[in-house]
Structure 1
């Protein structure tokens, strides 16, 4: 076990950002760099007092010839601590596009699958206060609001996996001092000196801000403060959504007067939350598109944004899935359609699930009795056999079939606190 004059303070900070009770299985992402190596050793100390088994994982992106040796170094250090280690290899970059972004997405995908296969529900990541400060500076350059300036969260969900960042209150210098004092080795990624990358530019800029008292820890605390404000705004948005928005099967019906009376930031959060619930979480729509949609909603005008339609009807605006966003989706009964709907019914040879569309609506005169806009119903799942509609459960034609929201899809109002 590592013992040093740095350990107590670092362990105290680490425990403060970890769940009170660690899961029985905890993955630890270790690249071989100083931050993640320190994380492995610190968590090893913490795990001694809890019923937790650590599983070390390294992703070799195949972008540098040294990466394989670095993974082997991690394996040796993990073995010395009595910990298992696996290396995951990515060979998916074809030289086109944003290499860093593709590598990041691949890293999370590989680790998610690895964790799922081993029954691991959480992975700890080695992001530090310096990473948080650099993220904050880059987002300032993009004119981000409270959400973006909240930085990286200490815990978040990704495809059913919990990602933990327990070192956001620690600096790289403190972690390296801890490693040096305990004769631990690590590697420095040469890309950390490459000023072509925005993060390295932010790192250099941060050095120039130190005379003003602006350093990694102070900016990390700013991000923490903004994260608290972000959480409070999320609660306000959730309560506001309860007052102005009503779920009607696959759509959300919004009261225009109530929506217009909300503060602008809360209107934005309510709208973005509705869009995410209908179309699925992903990158939020651009600020300009959200602003135009907010204005259209308040004035009762039709519009489209992020794969959804705004359909005015009386004093309300219905927000629904857009047909062209789902027109090419086709699945077998029992699978999940549009990531959200599970359609089941009697065994039928040749049946398939597709969007109802205008062609289907003409075969389902019952749709008018639902009281829902035609455009909203056209993007709902229907059971087709060839060119004939067998059932459209959300449009009033059940025929022994039903459409249920998939279990993993969040409850509408609860979703405001999950993004």
Structure 2
């Protein structure tokens, strides 16, 4: 039985992992499992003590018959604590690809959208030391590098929302002991026993490795050590990028000679950082794709990676948006296009924002005067009225219009510290 002094210690440990000043309204994701239920209770105590509002959300993936009832159970549990709760439903599984990966991406998207709608700037997640250790073990099996083996970060930003993981050094068993002490039950997800999933295999492997001293606590320390190495490499990558990489109207331009003098790991970080900055937040490209793209930059060859094109031009390599990805993408005037562009100019009620494309370039005989590669211009934002091109600010035809990156889009070099 957990002593009350350890419950106090648990709450203190969790608080130390949270930002020093909490937002006035904090979100918590609660699946109904022991980890997230314990997190909700601990945060409830902290919220009451510090005078902040706590709100809870449960993602119902709709993959099991009992999921709706479980979400309702969480809602009732939160209600007894006086916490407002919302159930977020996902019905997007098309039976194609990796189920757990699709579900994870959908979960984060639903949670961050919910947070914005509720004026919540940060969401606490219930990942534990065991989750961290399992992640390290799975990534070890994939021959991951420093970034992969540093596993989950205690804090990161997604779609403008801070995701907090204050339980990464707390074991699953310690949280269940806490719930038992305060007489609170939780839901056991049957998928946690399904050996078809890699995470469950990793969980079993950890049990087998414990006799040789490889425990969740040890792997958490390994991840923390590698996280420090990751941060140092990120700083070096940022400093290097300031010397050999520049930004031109939303594209990243590399000096190939300077790029070639950098260590392989720094080359990889700058290239991946540029792709993620241009294409938007997401999972980094696979290592094989990065290796091929790096070789293309060094040898002055064309290529593609992660929704971006590599375009050689003299002693430079341009990294720009791939037109194929944004072809057919349209947005009304006043809304963002391709996630990062906003256009401002004369009133044009029936106009819309689309990619310039080949059709647009044919209407701009002087596009070469911009000095930018044709492929980079093709994917730049333009104002269209039907088939008529009204403006293409980045292609030398502003016609009273301006194209700018959205105010919340990070500066490229600064963004390298977050990858």
TM over 0.5: yes
Determine helix, strand or coil for the equivalent of 1:278: helix
Determine helix, strand or coil for the equivalent of 2:163: strand
- Per mean C-alpha deviation after superposition, the further-off stretch among 287-296 and 365-374 is 365-374
2: CA distance between counterparts of 1:85 and 1:3?
30
* Structure 1 vs Structure 2 CA RMSD: 2.1
2: CA distance between counterparts of 1:175 and 1:307?
42
2: CA distance between counterparts of 1:27 and 1:308?
34
- Per mean C-alpha deviation after superposition, the further-off stretch among 383-392 and 145-154 is 383-392
Aligned to 1:105: 105
Offset, 1:341: 1.5
1: CA distance between counterparts of 2:399 and 2:250?
19
1:307-355 CA deviation, whole Å, 9 max, x = no partner? 2222222222222222222222233332222222112221235433222
1:401 maps to 2:401: yes
Aligned to 2:362: 362
2: CA distance between counterparts of 1:310 and 1:97?
27
Offset, 1:3: 7.7
1:28 maps to 2:33: no
Aligned to 1:247: 247
- Per mean C-alpha deviation after superposition, the further-off stretch among 62-71 and 313-322 is 62-71
Determine helix, strand or coil for the equivalent of 1:184: coil
TM value normalised by structure 2? 0.93
Determine helix, strand or coil for the equivalent of 2:54: strand
Aligned to 1:318: 318
1:233-281 CA deviation, whole Å, 9 max, x = no partner? 1111111110000111122221111111111000000011111122222
Distance 1:188 1:373, change over 3 A: same
Offset, 1:102: 3.2
Aligned to 2:391: 391
2: CA distance between counterparts of 1:126 and 1:362?
54
1: CA distance between counterparts of 2:311 and 2:91?
45
Offset, 1:85: 3.0
2: CA distance between counterparts of 1:378 and 1:96?
32
Offset, 1:43: 1.4
Aligned to 2:203: 203
1:195-247 CA deviation, whole Å, 9 max, x = no partner? 11111100000001111111111101111111111111111111111000011
In structure 1, list runs of 5 or more residues that go unmatched. none
Distance 1:72 1:268, change over 3 A: same
1:62 maps to 2:83: no
2: CA distance between counterparts of 1:333 and 1:68?
39
Aligned to 1:134: 134
Offset, 1:72: 4.0
**Contact persistence 1:340–1:409 (CA under 8 A):** yes
**Contact persistence 1:4–1:182 (CA under 8 A):** no
- Per mean C-alpha deviation after superposition, the further-off stretch among 87-96 and 209-218 is 87-96
**Contact persistence 2:383–2:392 (CA under 8 A):** yes
1:120-166 CA deviation, whole Å, 9 max, x = no partner? 11111111000000111111111111111111111111222211110
Map 1:407-418; keep pairs closer than 5 Å.
407-418=407-418
**Contact persistence 2:158–2:281 (CA under 8 A):** no
TM value normalised by structure 1? 0.93
Structure 1 stretches of 4+ moved >4 Å:
94-97
1:89-136 CA deviation, whole Å, 9 max, x = no partner? 334445555433333333323322332222111111111000000111
Distance 1:95 1:278, change over 3 A: closer
- Per mean C-alpha deviation after superposition, the further-off stretch among 125-134 and 88-97 is 88-97
Determine helix, strand or coil for the equivalent of 2:195: coil
Q: How many residues align?
A: 418
Determine helix, strand or coil for the equivalent of 1:304: strand
Aligned to 1:336: 336
Aligned to 1:264: 264
